[in-house]
Amino acid sequence: MGVQNLSGRTGSIAEKLAMDLKGHIDREESLALPLLGILRDLVNGKLTNASARQASSIYVKFEKEYPGMLHGHKELYRMLERLKKVGAEEGHLTAVRFAESLEKHSQEEEEVLYPAALLAGRIAAKQVKAKS
């Protein structure tokens, strides 16, 4: 059972959180994840020109979306704090643990994954520029 199916205010908050997360996750999957996917080839010096061009294009989009995605995390943290508080009040410890895990994941995105994706995209863009 997902946390959005819990009873009371906890379930309502979790349901709203799930709806709000959908767009955010879609942006991550279309922008950050493809750039993270080229890291191995970058490290091994095997990034093809075609992959570099594609990554460069994604990088330009991600760079524009990045501030908004970070702002989305601030909104997410507020919702997660509320979910933890209400979940604890209503005895839904699963919701509290879920919120804590999602907070940790979001922090990892901000500190490691997003910067790594941006760096990968920047390197790919430089490769494209050097080959033109």
CA dihedral 99, 104, 109, 111 (to 10 degrees): 140
pLDDT at residue 7 above 90? Answer: no
The rounded distance, in Å, linking the Cα atoms of 32 and 49 is 19
pTM: 0.90
pLDDT of 64-115, one tens digit each? 999 999 999 999 999 999 999 999 999 999 999 999 999 999 999 999 999 9
Q: How confident is the model at residue 4 (pLDDT cuts 50, 70, 90)?
A: low
pLDDT score at 40 = 97
Burial class (CB in 10 A: 0-12, 13-18, 19+), 51: middle
Q: Where are the alpha helices (DSSP H) in the chain?
A: 8-27, 33-36, 39-43, 49-89, 93-108, 114-131
Q: Is the distance from CB of 56 to CB of 125 less than 8 angstroms? A: yes
